[in-house]
């Protein structure tokens, strides 16, 4: 394989193609449109399904329908488009059909702007649609990681019959980096037993999210929760940098984590024993490891490109053992390493005092 200079959005699209995605449905929205455009060109070339729908509402329901057939299916969008998809996402989770949705987050709320942000954390990680569900959420920080996690997301979606989000921000979607694509996997046209295939040679399959009898609704919800527990046990992913002897811990995901790593290096060079913890799976959240680290360090700093969303989960993991401070930029602003470095200095100074 060869290392190429790849743009985040295009790398994700090509990675999905090589992972054997059979159908893509989408709608243009900046800063993810290159995914749609790449798919528009490549999918028909390969004899696969590409369709630009009339809205993200239609997109997610096309994904829902195609996912009911057991095919590998995906879409991509950016924050306002994902908001529109939330109804269908809830139905997909209530029907337990596998699919992958990429959210290239932009500044919000409302129309916001097309600059990079992480303000969708609550919407994506905590549910967003109605009812009790949580999707698996994978947050890459580099183009290579975006490729790898996109490929992984299909396997996880099928393994757990769930929706998997790949959550990144506009800067990662737009930036070019050297990365390596996986080899092409053929489309797997074998269908799981639960899928709708219109086949008359077996008892019919029904895919629905309705449970009119409350007792049945609760029993179904318990099964969903059991599945979430399995996911929490088996699918936690994170990376650490210089945490082994750290007195302080910076926590950030995606681009914010990457910016923070530069600041951590700078602080280390100036004698501050600080490490970085970057969650890769936002659900399941790596709370156990953070709990361990909260017994080791004196204070934590959470860096996000929002008003402070993941910080709530870090505080739950730390559970009052150490102060958990927050530094964030929002509305499309990306923090500079210097700003994070200053925040680390404030953290260590306050802790020393």
Partner 1 sequence: MDAPIQANEQLVYRRPSRLTDTITHYCPGCTHGVAHRLVAEVLDELELSDKTIGVAPVGCAVFAYNYLDFDFAEAAHGRAPAMATGIKRIYPDRIVFTYQGDGDLASIGMAEIVHAAGRGENITVIFINNAIYGMTGGQMAPTTLPGQKTTSSPNGRDVETMGLPFKMAEILGPMQGSAYVVRRSLHNVKEINRAKKAIRIAFQTQQAALGFSMVELLSSCPTNWGLSAPAALKWIEDHMLPYYPLGDYKTLPEVAALK
Return residues touching partner 1 (CB under 8 A): 22-23, 25, 49, 51, 53-55, 57-59, 61-69, 71, 73, 87-88, 91, 95, 196-201, 204-210
CB of residue 332 to partner 1, shortest distance in Å: 29
Nearer to partner 1, 69 or 296 (CB): 69
CB of residue 179 to partner 1, shortest distance in Å: 30
Q: Is 264 exposed, middle or buried (0-12, 13-18, 19+ CB in 10 A)?
A: buried
Strand partners, 103: 77, 167
Report the C-alpha gap between 55 and 89 in whole angstroms.
14
Contact 171, 37 (CB under 8 A): no
Query: Closest by alpha carbon to 46, among 64, 78, 23, 30?
Result: 23
Report the C-alpha gap between 224 and 135 in whole angstroms.
11
CB of residue 30 to partner 1, shortest distance in Å: 22
Query: Closest by alpha carbon to 279, among 307, 249, 306?
Result: 249
Nearer to partner 1, 207 or 347 (CB): 207
Phi, then psi, of 303 in degrees rounded to 5: -115, 125
CB of residue 66 to partner 1, shortest distance in Å: 4
CB of residue 225 to partner 1, shortest distance in Å: 22
Nearer to partner 1, 44 or 109 (CB): 44
Nearer to partner 1, 75 or 294 (CB): 75
Nearer to partner 1, 95 or 345 (CB): 95
Nearer to partner 1, 197 or 351 (CB): 197
Strand partners, 163: 99
Quick count: other Cβ atoms within 10 Å of Cβ 266? Answer: 17
Q: CA dihedral defined by 279, 126, 11, 276, rounded to 10 degrees?
A: -20
CB of residue 187 to partner 1, shortest distance in Å: 11
CB of residue 85 to partner 1, shortest distance in Å: 11
Nearer to partner 1, 8 or 88 (CB): 88
**Look-up: residue for tokens 């399959």?**
205
Half-sphere exposure of 213 (CA within 13 A, CB side): 4
CB of residue 100 to partner 1, shortest distance in Å: 14
Nearer to partner 1, 197 or 266 (CB): 197
CB of residue 261 to partner 1, shortest distance in Å: 40
According to DSSP, the β-strands at 238-241 and 281-283 are: unpaired
Give all strands of the β-sheet with 299-304 in edge-to-edge order: 238-241, 274-279, 248-251, 299-304, 324-328
Nearer to partner 1, 201 or 215 (CB): 201
Measured CA to CA in angstroms, residue 55 lies from 30, 83, 92, 109, 289 at distances of 14, 12, 17, 19, 40
């Amino acid at each position: 394989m060869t290392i190429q200079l790849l743009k985040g959005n295009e790398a994700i699209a090509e990675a999905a193609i090589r992972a054997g995605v059979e159908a893509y449905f989408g709608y243009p929205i900046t800063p993810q449109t290159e995914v749609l455009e790449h798919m528009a060109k490549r999918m028909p070339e390969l004899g696969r399904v590409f369709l630009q729908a009339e809205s993200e509402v239609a997109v997610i329901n096309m994904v829902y329908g195609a996912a009911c057939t057991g095919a590998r299916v995906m879409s991509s969008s950016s924050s306002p488009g994902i908001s529109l998809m939330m109804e269908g996402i809830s139905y997909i989770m209530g029907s337990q059909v596998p699919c992958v949705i990429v959210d290239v987050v932009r500044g919000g709320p409302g129309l916001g702007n097309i600059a990079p942000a992480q303000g969708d954390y609550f919407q994506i990680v905590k549910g967003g649609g109605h009812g009790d569900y949580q999707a698996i959420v994978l947050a890459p920080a580099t183009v290579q990681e975006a490729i790898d996690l996109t490929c992984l997301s299909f396997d996880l979606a099928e393994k757990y019959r769930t929706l998997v989000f790949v959550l990144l921000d506009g800067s990662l979607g737009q930036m070019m980096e050297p990365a390596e694509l996986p080899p092409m996997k053929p489309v797997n046209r074998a269908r799981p037993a639960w899928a709708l295939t219109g086949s008359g040679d077996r008892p019919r399959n029904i895919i629905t999210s309705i449970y009119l009898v409350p007792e049945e609704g609760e029993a179904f919800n318990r099964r969903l929760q059991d599945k979430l527990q399995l996911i929490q046990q088996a699918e936690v992913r994170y990376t650490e940098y210089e945490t082994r002897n750290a007195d302080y811990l910076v926590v950030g995901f995606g681009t914010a984590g990457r910016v923070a790593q530069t600041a951590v290096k700078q602080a280390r060079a100036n004698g501050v024993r600080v490490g970085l913890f970057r969650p890769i799976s936002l659900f399941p959240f790596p709370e156990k490891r953070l709990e361990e680290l909260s017994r080791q360090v004196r204070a934590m700093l959470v860096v996000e490109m929002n008003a402070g969303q993941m910080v709530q989960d870090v505080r739950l993991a730390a559970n009052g053992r150490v102060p958990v401070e927050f530094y964030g930029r929002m509305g499309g602003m990306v923090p500079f390493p210097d700003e994070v470095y200053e925040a680390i200095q404030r953290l260590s100074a306050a802790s020393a005092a």
